[in-house]
Amino acid sequence: MSDSKAIFLKDATVNAADGDQRAFINKALGGYYTNRDLQKARYRDWERARDAASMAKWSAVNDLANVLEKFVGNFERNGGVVHWARDAEEARTIILKIAEDVKAKAIVKSKCMTTEEIHLNDALEKAGYGVVESDLGEFIQQLRGEAPYHFVFPCMHVKREAISALFTKHLGTAPTDSPEELTMIARRHLRQLYIDADIGITGANFLVAETGQISITENEGNARLTAALPRIHIALSGIEKVVNHLDDLSVLLPMLATAGAGQPMTCYNTLYSGPRKKGECDGPEEFHLVLMDNARTRILADPEQRDSLHCIRCGACLNVCPIFKNIGGLAYGTTYQGPIGSVITPHLRGLKQWNHLSGASSLCGACTDACPVRIDLHHHLLHNRRNAAKQSPTLFDLAFHHGFTFVIKRPWLFALGGRIFRATLPLLQKLPLPYMGAWMKTRDLPKAPAQSFRDQWKNQNV
């Protein structure tokens, strides 16, 4: 058993047994379901909108070289600088180099899962820079020294009392149980940090090839401030974020908001095309974009799962997933939680160590149903299971597969096996069966029928 699997099983078991925490998460998601359904009802045809969104991503991802080239040409024409990173280490090195070149001291960040993927904060802090997460949820998680619980709602598992205590400890503020007051504490604390920072780091939700703009979606205004006040703007993005046309956003932006958070539109959807232009009074002097592969081309090379690169990181699949709701986001031990995380993490970090996540699914298909860009999520979980069994089968896999193949090819043996199974079924009931413990704990085997199906078939007079 891989270490990551052992940790997963332990954490998942503990969390699933915590009824209080589960009730808290379910209550938090309750409001989301209501709002999402209200907003979806405003679409004159949600299914057609999903068609459009999935085709917008499909056509870009399946023509990635050309679309990316076009984007980069236009982005550079707008005055931005593009950097290329094959993997996480190259991305960190590039960003550290920029920070060194511009003699930065303080860095402010807006929420960006790609920076979580490459553990950028650790690298920057080790190099001596002060880094502050400005998204409220990420700010709280940074103070807690904990990874995000959910890639859209990073601290949805933390109760207000804990946040109040956290702020008292780190910021010296008076305790309060009002979410409003807690939000204002963070607002006051962060304002001066935006003004003093030399570098603002953001992610990107979409890269628009037609115009060379990057699109950033957020609710709080922290990304707007991060890209407005510091003198250097660095954005980190995966290469798969590109779309062909500016008009694609007229579908993708509202759907991202509705599927992800039950909003008509996220509060700020901002397109950036370069640093401060001639005649503009503010904005950064330099705009750097780091385009990172980090195993995305590995997913691209798998046509069966290529559509997982369509993901717009709305988080809808997490919000409806019975596994996520029961074990929570931290148990996954991944940057991307929930069904999409279970699908792509084996590509990012290795199938052998991470295929267990694809087993942690009821295959109910709620994720596939919720996905605004029609990623075939629950089938990909099955694909991962199959690929893992092919790549490094366990002894049980081998024995079962070969045994089954041997028996099914020989009808007389199959019939004999059935006879023996029917006869010994009452006995089996009492034996501790290997691999069946968890299942049998709450279930009984069914009673054996008097006749096999084959005998019944033979004896029927039709």
Partner 1 sequence: MSDARSDIFARIREALKVKAPKPHLKGDGAAGKTSTVAKPWLPDGGETAEDSLTILAEQLAKLKAVLIRVPDHASAAKAVAELSASKNWKKVAYHGHDLLRPVVAALTCETWEADTSFDKQRLEGCDAGITTCESIVAQLGSILVSSASSGGRALSILPHVHVVVAESSQIVPDLGAALALAKARHGDQMPSMLSFITGPSRTGDIERILVLGAHGPKELYLILIG
Q: Which two tokens stand for residue 84?
A: 């290329």
408 contact partners, CB below 8 Å, separation of at least 6: 414
Min dist. Cβ of residue 437 to partner 1 (A): 37
Choice between 137 and 333, CB closer to partner 1: 137
Angstrom distance (rounded) from CA 93 to CA 424: 64
Nearer to partner 1 by C-beta: 189 or 349? Answer: 189
Pairing, β 268-272 against β 213-218: antiparallel
| Collapsed DSSP state (helix, strand, coil) of residue 307 | helix
Query: Closest approach of Cβ 434 to partner 1, in Å?
Result: 39
Cβ–Cβ < 8 Å for 272, 227: yes
- In the bound complex, what is the minimum distance in angstroms from residue 442's beta carbon to partner 1? 33
Q: How far is the CB of 225 from partner 1 (least distance, A)?
A: 6
Residue 57 CB, nearest distance to partner 1 (Å)?
8
Residue 431's alpha-carbon distances to 86, 421, 423, in angstroms, are 53, 14, 14
* Residue 317 φ then ψ, to 5°: -70, -30
Q: How far apart are CA 6 and CA 162, in angstroms?
A: 29
**Chain mean position to CA 300:** 17
d(CA 299, CA 295): 7
Closer residue to partner 1, CB minimum distance, 8 or 32: 32
CB 183 within 8 A of CB 136: yes
Q: Kindly state the smallest distance separating residue 433's Cβ from partner 1, in Å.
A: 39
Take residue 90 and report the two structure tokens written for it: 């190259």
Which CB, 106 or 158, lies closer to partner 1? Answer: 158
How many alpha carbons fall within 13 Å on the CB side of residue 199? 26
The least distance separating partner 1 from the CB of residue 354, rounded to whole angstroms, comes to 21
Strand partners, 108: 132, 200
238 - beta bridge partners?
A: 292
- Give how far the C-alpha of residue 277 lies from the chain's centroid of Cα atoms, to the nearest Å: 35
What DSSP character marks residue 203?
Answer: -
Min dist. Cβ of residue 134 to partner 1 (A): 7
Cβ nearer to partner 1, comparing 99 with 190: 190
Nearer to partner 1, 62 or 353 (CB): 62
Distance of CA 355 to the CA centre of its chain: 16
97 Cβ contact partners less than 8 Å away, ≥ 6 residues apart: none
Q: Residue 222 or 337: which CB sits closer to partner 1? A: 222
* Residue number, 4 or 202, with CB nearest to partner 1: 202
Of 40 and 422, which has the nearer Cβ to partner 1?
A: 40
* CB nearer to partner 1: pick between 77 and 419: 77
N-to-C CA span, the chain: 53
Contacts of 89 (CB under 8 A, 6+ apart): 118
**Two structure tokens written together for 449:** 């029928």
Tell me the C-alpha distance between 339 and 367, whole Å.
7
Shortest separation between residue 399's beta carbon and partner 1, angstroms: 33
Nearer to partner 1, 280 or 444 (CB): 280
Least distance to partner 1, CB of residue 177, Å: 10
Judge whether 109 and 226 are in contact, CB under 8 Å.
Answer: yes
Closer CB to partner 1, residue 213 or residue 337?
Answer: 213
Task: Give 323's strand partners.
Answer: none
Minimum distance of partner 1 from residue 60's CB (angstroms): 8
For the CB of residue 111, give the shortest distance to partner 1 in the complex, in Å: 10
Pairing of the two strands 213-218 and 206-208? antiparallel
CA distance 207 to 209: 6
